[in-house]
């Protein structure tokens, strides 16, 4: 459909959900065209059209099992799509592996935290920096000046990154021993260390209390402002989604049912029926 | 007076023989430890038992043997050649036999590994015949004498123990302080997450095989320097013993391989010296069984909780 790695000119997408004023003249950083995936006979996602502008915070919401995490897995190439295309910065990512797409600029966090628990906080972040630390195996064994230089600058970068969330003092701790909230923040830092253009956050506020969530909201905006990147987040916490997302996309049964600014979504009868109404009734938002 | 002197001498003799057994135990154990590293690292990262590892040792020893005896190469280049050949062989085996089975059930991988082991043994038999070759020690047969010649330590032993210490410290550095080492540890914990952080898991697994096989070549040369009979089946028993050592110390753990290997070597030599030569292997495995009954994850292994 599109040549891999080639700039592809496409008509402006009706899919663009919301373009913040500062991004009006810019091409979207991430586009999904008619994306779909089947697992055996089951269509998990179909006709997914979506675009994110370069410094947008976009939300992906929907009831449990709607296909939100599937979208993330497709964007990060854990699954290869059955149909459609994903464009990163105008380039098709077709056939790219998870590693390649990460190098190209997509990083993610996980619904259930997946840090390297037995490694220190510093090493976890350094693993995010893996592709930015440049020395060979031999210079690692022989400890050449280049090795020391690279490791030193990596260590400084780790400190810088940790300082965004005021976590410098935890640098030597084992990741698995951190409190829950700190683990969530560390996961975001580790993903940021890979140098993404688009950061995918899968339920960043899961399991957080309201004050922690408020702090997280500030932090997400701060990350966007500092790094000038796009952030796409899956979240069930409506305060968070309506509070910081500029564009929202609602999924149900693998299909988009609504797209738009937070105000439009809140008043959309389809959304209320599929999602918000139910959300109010049982007030639970645990996902398997 | 005379009686007391005699007694002193007798006890001194006992003490010296104990010491010399201990030293040869540590030396044998060092070889086991170097081989065990290959098992333990591959298991830690690829979660598979590479039973062909023992036969890579044999190939390494053959390469070194032919380089020295047939092509008259000096010792150090021959050892390096063996290391290079085994590294290539290890990576080749991984690509050919194990990589296509990355997502296959672990039983299929295990059987493939056993098949690969027989393949290597039989290829060696075809290429080099099953006639034993006499391997001449790469470090010479001299020895250093202590206590007026009552205790002698051969160069072999010194070089083996030194090699083991150097390898262990370099590997500890490598896995702990370099980006490749950290990538290896990350892959051993969570391959998918590592991949999503931009770490090439396949390359990391290949690298692990390369390191393990390079060490196997070193172990092969050291082993055949002490036990000079070289046959296509030379690697299999030390391979199994080293695997035992890896399990003994806690498979997946590098210090565990060192501890398990050394203990296994010492137990084996003591059993040979003080109990029975024929029973020595049985005693070694008996100790393993007892240790695993008490500590199922091995001496330094972490108790893994099954995910429900």
Domain-terminating residue out of A172, A194, A216: A194
Is residue B196 within 8 angstroms of chain A, CB to CB? yes
Residue owning tokens 């391997």: B135
Among residues B293, B211, B290, B306, the alpha carbon closest in space to that of B257 is found at: B211
Other beta carbons within 10 angstroms of residue A65's beta carbon come to 15
Checking ipTM against 0.90, whether it exceeds it is no
Question: Do residues B246 and B127 lie in contact, with contact meaning Cβ atoms separated by under 8 Å?
Answer: no
Nearest-CB residue to A130 (from B170, B173, B183)? B183
Assign B158 to helix, strand or coil.
helix
Per-residue model confidence as pLDDT tens digits over B65-90: 999 999 989 999 999 999 999 999 99
In terms of domains, do A240 and A224 share one?
Answer: yes
Per-residue model confidence as pLDDT tens digits over B110-134: 999 999 999 999 999 999 999 999 9
Query: In Å, how far is B229's CA from the nearest CA of chain A?
Result: 34
Question: Do residues B204 and B183 lie in contact, with contact meaning Cβ atoms separated by under 8 Å?
Answer: yes
Nearest-CB residue to A130 (from B177, B179, B190)? B179
Burial class (CB in 10 A: 0-12, 13-18, 19+), A28: buried
Per-residue model confidence as pLDDT tens digits over B266-285: 999 999 999 988 888 899 88
Task: Say if B18 falls within a structural domain.
Answer: no
Give the Cα separation of A282 and A261 in Å (integer).
25
Please indicate whether, in this complex, the C-beta atoms of B186 and A118 are within 8 angstroms of each other: no
For residue A17, the model assigns a pLDDT of 54
Is residue A64 within 8 angstroms of chain B, CB to CB? no
Please indicate whether, in this complex, the C-beta atoms of A116 and B181 are within 8 angstroms of each other: no
Output the six-digit token pair for A285: 């938002």
In terms of domains, do A89 and A7 share one?
Answer: yes
Among residues A2, A32, A30, the alpha carbon closest in space to that of A95 is found at: A2
Domain-terminating residue out of A132, A160, A194: A194
Is residue A107 within 8 angstroms of chain B, CB to CB? yes
Range of the domain at B173: 24-294
Task: Say if B203 falls within a structural domain.
Answer: yes
In terms of domains, do A67 and A170 share one?
Answer: no
Domain-terminating residue out of A149, A174, A194: A194
Other beta carbons within 10 angstroms of residue A181's beta carbon come to 17
Give the Cα separation of B52 and A62 in Å (integer).
51
Per-residue model confidence as pLDDT tens digits over B236-251: 999 999 999 999 999 8
Count interface pairs A-B at CB distance under 8 A. Answer: 79
Task: Say if B6 falls within a structural domain.
Answer: no
The list of chain A residues with pLDDT below 70 reads 1-21, 24, 275-288
In terms of domains, do A207 and A183 share one?
Answer: no
Is residue A73 within 8 angstroms of chain B, CB to CB? no
Q: DSSP string spanning A240-275? A: HHHHH-SEEEEEETTEEEEEE-HHHHHH-HHHIIII
Mean pLDDT of B288-300: 88
Task: Say if B154 falls within a structural domain.
Answer: yes
Mean pLDDT of B223-241: 92
In terms of domains, do A74 and A164 share one?
Answer: no
For residue A207, the model assigns a pLDDT of 87
For residue A169, the model assigns a pLDDT of 93
For residue A21, the model assigns a pLDDT of 67
- CATH label of the domain that carries residue A95: 3.40.50.300
A contacts of B177 (beta carbons < 8 Å): 140, 151
Mean pLDDT of B27-46: 94
Output the six-digit token pair for A189: 């830092």
| Chosen from A79, A114, A138, A200 to mutate, greatest number of chain B CBs within 10 A | A114
A contacts of B102 (beta carbons < 8 Å): none
In terms of domains, do A93 and A1 share one?
Answer: yes
Nearest-CB residue to B197 (from A78, A97, A194)? A194
The domain total for chain B is 1
Tally the residues of chain B.
308
Please indicate whether, in this complex, the C-beta atoms of B186 and A119 are within 8 angstroms of each other: yes
Task: Say if B167 falls within a structural domain.
Answer: yes
B contacts of A107 (beta carbons < 8 Å): 196-197
- Determine the residue of chain B that is closest to A134 in CA distance: B179
In terms of domains, do A204 and A97 share one?
Answer: yes
Q: What share of chain B is helix, strand, coil (3-state, %, to 5)?
A: 75, 5, 20
A contacts of B196 (beta carbons < 8 Å): 76, 78, 98, 102, 107-108
Query: In Å, how far is B34's CA from the nearest CA of chain A?
Result: 18
| Chosen from A100, A104, A112, A127 to mutate, greatest number of chain B CBs within 10 A | A127
- Model's pTM, two decimal places? 0.87
In terms of domains, do A99 and A118 share one?
Answer: no
Query: Could you tell me the sign of the dihedral formed by the alpha carbons of A6, A9, A14, A19, in that order?
Result: positive
Please indicate whether, in this complex, the C-beta atoms of B194 and A151 are within 8 angstroms of each other: no
The more confidently predicted of residues A288 and B187 is B187
Task: Say if B299 falls within a structural domain.
Answer: no
B contacts of A110 (beta carbons < 8 Å): 193
Is residue B307 within 8 angstroms of chain A, CB to CB? no
Is residue A174 within 8 angstroms of chain B, CB to CB? no
Question: Do residues B38 and B213 lie in contact, with contact meaning Cβ atoms separated by under 8 Å?
Answer: yes
Please indicate whether, in this complex, the C-beta atoms of B195 and A98 are within 8 angstroms of each other: yes
Determine what percent of chain B is predicted with pLDDT higher than 70: 94
Range of the domain at A145: 113-194
The domain total for chain A is 2
pLDDT at B154 over 70: yes
For residue B157, the model assigns a pLDDT of 92
- CATH label of the domain that carries residue B194: 1.10.3470
Is residue A153 within 8 angstroms of chain B, CB to CB? no
- Determine the residue of chain B that is closest to A176 in CA distance: B189
Is residue B166 within 8 angstroms of chain A, CB to CB? no
For residue A286, the model assigns a pLDDT of 45
In terms of domains, do A176 and A152 share one?
Answer: yes
In terms of domains, do A210 and A76 share one?
Answer: yes
pLDDT at B153 over 60: yes
Task: Say if B305 falls within a structural domain.
Answer: no
In terms of domains, do A132 and A251 share one?
Answer: no
Q: DSSP string spanning A62-102? A: -STTSSHHHHHHHHTTSS--SEEEEEETTEE-TT--HHHHH
Is residue B70 within 8 angstroms of chain A, CB to CB? no
């Amino acid at each position: 459909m599109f040549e891999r790695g080639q700039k592809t000119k496409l008509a402006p997408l009706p899919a663009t959900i919301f373009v913040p004023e500062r991004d009006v003249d810019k091409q979207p950083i991430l586009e999904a065209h008619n994306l779909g995936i089947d697992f055996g006979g089951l269509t998990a996602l179909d006709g997914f059209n979506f675009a994110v502008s370069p410094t947008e915070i976009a939300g992906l919401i929907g009831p449990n099992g709607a296909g939100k995490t599937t979208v993330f897995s497709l964007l990060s190439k854990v699954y290869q799509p059955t149909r459609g295309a994903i464009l990163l910065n105008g380039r098709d990512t077709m056939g790219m592996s998870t590693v390649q797409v990460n190098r190209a600029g997509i990083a993610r966090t996980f619904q259930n935290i997946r840090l390297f628990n037995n490694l220190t906080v510093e090493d976890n972040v350094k693993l995010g920096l893996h592709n930015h630390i440049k020395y060979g195996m031999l210079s690692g064994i022989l400890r050449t000046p280049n090795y020391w230089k690279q490791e030193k600058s990596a260590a400084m970068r780790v400190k810088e990154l940790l300082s965004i969330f005021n976590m410098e003092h935890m640098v030597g701790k084992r990741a698995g021993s951190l409190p829950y909230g700190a683990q969530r923040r560390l996961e975001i830092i580790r993903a940021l260390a890979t140098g993404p253009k688009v950061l995918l956050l899968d339920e960043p506020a899961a399991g957080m209390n309201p004050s922690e969530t408020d702090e997280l909201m500030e932090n997400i905006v701060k990350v966007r402002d500092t790094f000038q990147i796009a952030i796409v987040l899956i979240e069930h916490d409506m305060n968070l989604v309506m509070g910081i997302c500029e564009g929202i996309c609602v999924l149900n049964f693998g299909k988009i049912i609504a797209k738009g600014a937070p105000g439009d979504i809140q008043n959309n009868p389809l959304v209320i029926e599929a999602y918000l109404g139910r959300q109010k009734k049982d007030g639970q938002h645990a996902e398997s | 007076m005379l009686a007391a002197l005699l007694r002193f001498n007798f006890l001194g003799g006992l003490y010296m023989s104990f010491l010399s057994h201990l030293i040869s135990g540590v030396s044998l154990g060092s070889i086991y430890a170097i081989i065990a590293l290959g098992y333990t690292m591959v298991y830690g990262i690829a979660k598979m038992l590479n039973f062909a590892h023992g036969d890579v040792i044999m190939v390494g020893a053959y390469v070194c043997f032919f380089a020295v005896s047939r092509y008259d190469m000096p010792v150090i280049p021959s050892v390096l050649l063996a290391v290079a050949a085994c590294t290539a062989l290890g990576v080749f085996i991984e690509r050919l036999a194990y990589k296509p089975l990355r997502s296959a059930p672990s039983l299929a991988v295990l059987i493939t590994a056993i098949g690969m082991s027989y393949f290597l043994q039989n290829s060696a038999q075809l290429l080099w015949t099953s006639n034993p070759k006499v391997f001449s020690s790469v470090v010479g047969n001299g020895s250093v004498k202590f206590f007026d010649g009552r205790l002698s330590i051969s160069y072999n032993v010194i070089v083996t123990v030194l090699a083991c210490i150097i390898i262990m410290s370099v590997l500890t550095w490598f896995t702990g302080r370099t980006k490749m080492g950290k990538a290896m540890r990350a892959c051993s914990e969570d391959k998918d997450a590592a991949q999503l952080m931009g770490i090439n898991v396949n390359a990391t697994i290949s690298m692990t095989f390369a390191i393990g096989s390079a060490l196997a070549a070193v172990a092969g040369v050291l082993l055949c320097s002490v036990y000079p009979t070289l046959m296509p089946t030379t690697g299999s028993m030390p391979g199994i013993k080293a695997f035992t050592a890896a399990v003994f110390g806690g498979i997946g753990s590098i210090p565990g391989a060192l501890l398990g290997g050394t203990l296994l070597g010492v137990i084996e030599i003591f059993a040979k010296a003080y109990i029975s030569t024929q029973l020595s292997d049985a005693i070694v495995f008996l100790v393993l069984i007892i240790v695993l009954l008490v500590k199922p994850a091995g001496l330094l292994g972490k108790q893994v909780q099954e995910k429900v």
